[in-house]
Structure 1
């Protein structure tokens, strides 16, 4: 078995190519968590016929794009900020809030801690517990909040656990955070994949709370990571003004604006995606739920976390086994609070899912 010198991100296909000698074009990435339908046919044809848009600057205020996002999310355009991917907005928000001490639910995406550290802040993790199937114990969690914390970061649904916090519990968290003057950043990158999205998304709460900002993007659900189109929603107009003042003009190009305005109104593609992920998520969860070698954690996103129950197999073993069959999964041993007994994979088209299942379950 090749032992990689580093763990691979879902976008690290060039590194995989170098280590394993497999052409990146031949790899199916179950690690990137991207919609398996790819770019919608409507978007593909529309962009091709609007290439002349790059000869003009986009609207500096991105008014039409923000109105499309507002209609899609059920909010007001005045509460929407757009950016060059959600990572730009995370960075700008951290720079403005400049948190000295942040709390993050872990295990989760590492970029939050990195941005906080770059801003000179420190990070405290609250661990989601395996004994609770990585579902947040809201009572215990809120008991750990105090006035020394000035920022709380929540990924909802969470990556890599695929667990979620419903809006009723989010309101309880926001109420406690309000008492301690804690701002809450919620990353909803995967919420559109959830069957119960309307019970999870915190967007409606932005009308009542000014201590919350919600981040989303088009990389995962709309299969457009290279487009670099992200957005944030907040009812805090002072924060929105500060971000817009600090943000560089025209960070979103003209083609991305056209794509965004189309994406959020492409109902056929949106419904096809939700239907595909919903059926595959339920089917695959049941398969692993009934297998003695694995413990799956009930997923809300378009990916699932698995615990390996066999003592003679590690996450690196399964990564190696899958990649040799041109399928890339995520070895989760580098996530906080996880070890070499956890893997994560996203849901692809049914036939590819079947190939991965056969690979993982074969002796």
Structure 2
């Protein structure tokens, strides 16, 4: 039997995650400093872990409502209103998902039909386009550029819209660039979205991680709430990646459609994670603020380091990624990342795994300790300097 003949053509054609490829290389290489995977180096605060442990000791191990614990949805509702001026009913406009990743997947499956086009603002998180394809749609890249601080520009958006366009998926603060969209930027985009009657899938999982500017959700703009699927989670802000708790806020009819898919594929998010999320939402904000302060210090260090060694690097205003250009070295970004890992044991992610607009860049996560970032920058500078000075053979 030829197993390949039994597999779905779609599943065979979708490439594996470029991020995970480098994660696997890191695991297989001893002594590596990883700036690759976007995961906080902080441990989930003790009181959050303890709440889940205590719930297990009390035997709270059952299913929850498909939409998630009502008390958690109520807390998320308060959080969105207090933090981002967003009002959602916990009864029918909010649901708890298995991470933001599940929310993205089922949002697309609830919206997309065969032949529909979905605009993907790039550079973008690696799952967006594959999830569009798995939903039966066609992803269409909308590029952003370093000269614009990687913001989505109105002309770039307008030029990609066709009669087949149904939705746009975007992430601000952005993974991988660290770009943010301010209110005046979003207002220009909202006019185009409204004009063409599009749905926005807004991945705001990094909403809390901004530096000097408060995050503004496109859903908070006039007329945008009903056409926005707002996705968030606790992985990044509360250092809860392994707990796999996300949430989605949207119009009741959209939530209803997503909930049906969620019922048949997931049933509900794990109750232990939901209990921990509830504690985080209620009492975890001080620890979150302390983590953000640490990220800000690391952000300044890594950007200064890249700029001083001669690599162009815009200053990220959100998330926990720097996105320096390595074009001056003459290297392809994949080759650069592979050679860097081989020679210096520093792991970064090639920018092109995040779409065409990422070519010639590398993504470097500063969600690791200050000392490790300092050491990584020293190693990278030793690798980069001879290539910038022309004293090392360049591999294109």
TM-score normalised by L of structure 2: 0.79
Give the deviation of 1:40 after TM superposition: 1.4
Which residue matches 1:257? 274
> Structure 1 147/310 Cα, relative in aligned 2: closer, same or farther at 3 Å?
closer
Q: How far did 1:197 drift? A: 5.4
Q: Work out whether residues 195 and 278 of structure 1, in 8 Å CA contact, stay in contact via their aligned partners in 2.
A: yes
Return the offset for 1:271.
0.8
SS in 1 for 2:173: coil
**What's the CA shift string for 1:9-63, capped at 9, x where partnerless?**
2586445444x4x3xxx65432222222221122233333332344333345420
Deviation of 1:327 after TM superposition, in Å, equals 3.9
Q: C-alpha separation between the residues in 2 aligned to 1:197 and 1:260? A: 25
CA positional deviation for 1:273: 1.3
Tell me whether 1:65 sits opposite 2:46 in the alignment. Answer: no
Which stretch of structure 1 is more off in the superposition, 105-114 or 69-78?
A: 69-78
Quote the Cα distance in structure 2 between the aligned partners of 1:7 and 1:186: 21
Moved more, 279-288 or 323-332: 323-332
Matched, 1:342 2:361: yes
Unmatched 5+ residue regions in structure 2? 1-15, 82-86, 384-396
User: d(CA) in 1 for partners of 2:219 and 2:141?
Assistant: 25
Note if 1:278 corresponds to 2:289: no
- Does the aligned pair in 2 maintain the 1:107–1:335 contact within 8 Å? yes
Which residue is equivalent to 2:161?
145
In structure 1, distance between residues paired with 2:97 and 2:314:
33
Structure 1 residue 91: Cα displacement: 1.9
Deviation at 1:233, TM superposition (A): 1.5
Q: How many residues get paired? A: 352
Contact 1:38–1:222 (CA under 8 A) maintained in structure 2: no
> Partners in 2 of 1:328 and 1:137 — Cα distance?
31
Residue 238 of structure 1 aligns with which residue? 253
Which residue is 1:302 aligned to? 320
Could you say what the CA RMSD is over the residues aligned between the two structures, in angstroms? 2.8
* TM-score, structure 1 normalization: 0.86
Q: Relative to structure 1, is the Cα distance of residues 201 and 342 closer, same or farther in structure 2, using a 3 angstrom cutoff?
A: same
Displacement of 1:66 after TM fit?
A: 0.7
Match of 2:101 in 1: 87
Contact 2:323 2:363 in 1 (8 A): yes
- Report 1:1-363 matches (<5 A): 8-9=18-19, 13-18=23-28, 20=29, 22=30, 27-52=32-57, 53-61=59-67, 62-74=69-81, 75-76=87-88, 77-78=90-91, 79-99=93-113, 100-142=116-158, 144-196=160-212, 198-205=214-221, 208-234=224-250, 236-248=251-263, 250-265=267-282, 266-292=284-310, 294-299=311-316, 300-311=318-329, 313-315=331-333, 316-322=335-341, 326-338=345-357, 341-347=360-366, 348-363=368-383
Distance change >3 Å, CA 178–CA 202, structure 1 → 2:
closer
